[in-house]
């Protein structure tokens, strides 16, 4: 194949790709805007829903050491400090505060941990709703573009004679718009739905891990205080 043939094939490929981008008309541009928003949401959630962000090891070690030393007030202050803000601290903090304020101790702490845990998991779920919305709206916009293109195609059939010079061009253009918007909507929706399911599974996994971790924290808080052993006096 000559270099001219290669250039022609490359230009045809570029024009076909460009047609898929801009050939959907106004509705196609809306779908492209949704795709840009979806990419931004994926980047944000990929950075936010990570083990190191939800269950930071440094915070867990620090709080575990405080609770083992019976420094419950210090642990509660650590969790309330905005510098240490994380899923772990937002769940454990209210439980420690309830433990300090309630005469029922660990029982109230467990209730507070369950309530704050459910609230924080729901908060993470709600943060991913944007991707679910895009995954739902994008194919609907593609369907709207399909209907618009088919209306244009039938209008061409109704108002033009078969022998007109631009009859087939107009008909093909309307059908092309109908198919391109459907293609664009599916291309945007399928990755959004897949990433949305992946993020929800990660949230469930981290929530289960956090639940087991909170049980360990309750055991540390509720552990009996062992008095220091006294060395026997010499000569006794």
pLDDT digit string (tens) for 37-54?
Answer: 999 999 999 888 998 989
Distance CA 210, CA 88 (A): 7
- Domains held by the chain: number: 1
Residue 232 counted as domain residue: no
- Count of CB atoms within 10 A of residue 104's CB? 11
Q: Could you tell me if residue 202 is inside a domain?
A: yes
| Model pLDDT for residues 183-224, shown as the tens digit of each residue | 889 999 999 999 999 999 999 999 999 989 998 888 888 766
Domain membership of residue 186 (yes or no) is yes
More confident residue, 149 or 95: 95
| Residue 229 counted as domain residue | no
Going by pLDDT thresholds of 50, 70 and 90, the confidence category of residue 165 is low
What is the pLDDT, as a whole number, of residue 168? 62
Residue 91: phi and psi, rounded to 5, are -85, -45
Instruction: Judge whether 8 lies within some domain.
Output: no
Is residue 236 one of the residues assigned to a domain?
A: no
Tell me whether residue 155 is in a domain.
yes
Cβ-contact 220, 68 below 8 angstroms: yes
Q: How far is CA 181 from CA 31, 127, 167, 173, 176, in A?
A: 8, 28, 22, 12, 9
Domain that holds residue 150: 24-222
pLDDT band (50, 70, 90) for residue 235:
very low
């Amino acid at each position: 194949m000559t270099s001219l043939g290669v250039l022609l094939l490359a230009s045809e490929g570029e024009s076909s790709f460009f047609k898929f981008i801009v050939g959907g008309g106004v509705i196609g541009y809306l779908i492209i805007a949704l795709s840009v928003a979806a990419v931004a949401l994926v980047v944000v959630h990929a950075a936010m829903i990570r083990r190191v962000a939800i269950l930071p090891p440094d915070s867990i070690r620090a709080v575990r050491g405080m609770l083992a030393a019976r420094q419950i007030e210090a642990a509660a202050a650590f969790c309330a400090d905005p510098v240490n803000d994380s899923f772990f601290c937002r769940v454990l903090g209210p439980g420690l505060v309830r433990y300090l304020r309630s005469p029922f101790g660990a029982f109230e702490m467990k209730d507070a941990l369950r309530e704050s845990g459910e609230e924080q998991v729901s908060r993470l779920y709600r943060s991913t709703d944007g991707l679910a919305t895009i995954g739902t709206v994008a194919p609907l916009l593609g369907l709207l573009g399909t209907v618009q293109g088919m209306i244009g195609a039938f209008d061409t059939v109704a108002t033009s004679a078969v022998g007109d010079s631009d009859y087939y061009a107009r008909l093909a253009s309307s059908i092309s718009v109908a198919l391109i918007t459907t293609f664009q909507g599916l291309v945007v929706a399928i990755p959004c739905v897949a990433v949305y399911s992946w993020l929800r599974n990660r949230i469930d996994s981290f929530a289960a891990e956090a639940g087991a971790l909170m049980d360990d924290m309750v055991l540390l808080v509720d552990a009996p205080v062992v008095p220091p052993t006294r060395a026997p006096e010499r000569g006794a």
